[in-house]
Amino acid sequence: MGIVAGAVSSVSAIPGSIVSVIGIDPGRKGALVKLNRAAYAARRIYDMPKGPDGLDLVGLLELLGQLVTPGCKVMIESCVTIKGKNGSGKGFGTYRHEHGQLLGAVTAAFWAVGMRPNVEQVTPIAWKSVFGLAGQGKVGPAQYLLDRKLATVQELTLARARTPSDGRSDALMIAMYAAIREGWNAFR
């Protein structure tokens, strides 16, 4: 299926036209969450599609093809420098490569459904600061969501795991951050 010239929607450029947001935590145990402005409870949490060599780009494109709709905005946690032992940066190249693949896949998903990409990146410190979680580590977001009954343990916990997934809780909070940035008041 090709994209007809001039058929690209510019709905996302109209102020107040965002009706859904997708929050993405691109980490190894990353996840995606879609929130709809009309019904927060109708959210869906998806684990990042993984293949034998890392990110499953085909699976990701298929998933995004289902999630990206007119009036949708995607907020992705930005790639930050990860230092290894003694500041070596070991492992950073792989993370950065997968992050680049993810940004490309998200952009391609918008074009595939005939829409201009509406994608922003956010640093962990920026979205965590909005919720008062800066410096609280990986447990902070999950505990915040559970304490305020914004999510259940079952939603945040991977199969066969004992504790909530930081990828799932981070993705949900990134989506909530995107919603707040769009003026939705449901999460304050």
CATH of the domain at 142: 3.30.420.10
Q: Closest Cα to residue 77, out of 25, 130, 142?
A: 25
Is 54 domain-assigned? yes
pLDDT at position 92: 46
pLDDT truncated to tens, each residue of the chain (188 aa)? Answer: 333 333 333 333 454 588 899 999 887 778 999 998 877 656 788 988 888 877 788 888 888 888 888 888 999 888 655 555 444 444 444 456 667 777 787 888 778 777 777 888 898 889 888 888 877 766 678 778 877 777 777 777 765 555 566 788 889 999 999 988 988 876 65
Is 3 domain-assigned? no
Is 4 domain-assigned? no
Is 63 domain-assigned? yes
Compute CA distances 25 → 15, 31, 100, 113, whole Å: 25, 5, 13, 22
Is 165 domain-assigned? yes
pLDDT at position 118: 85
User: Do residues 22 and 63 touch, judged by C-beta distance below 8 A?
Assistant: no
Compute CA distances 148 → 142, 144, 158, 187, whole Å: 10, 6, 20, 10
**137's torsion region: left (phi>0), alpha (psi -120 to 50) or beta?**
left
What is the C-alpha to C-alpha distance for residues 31 and 2, in angstroms, rounded to an integer? 29
Is 7 domain-assigned? no
How many distinct structural domains can be found in the chain? 1
What is the C-alpha to C-alpha distance for residues 10 and 116, in angstroms, rounded to an integer? 6
Domain span at residue 116 reads 16-179
What is the C-alpha to C-alpha distance for residues 103 and 105, in angstroms, rounded to an integer? 6
Is 167 domain-assigned? yes
Is 43 domain-assigned? yes
pTM attached to this predicted model:
0.76
Can you read off the two tokens belonging to residue 22? 């997708």
User: Do residues 121 and 78 touch, judged by C-beta distance below 8 A?
Assistant: yes
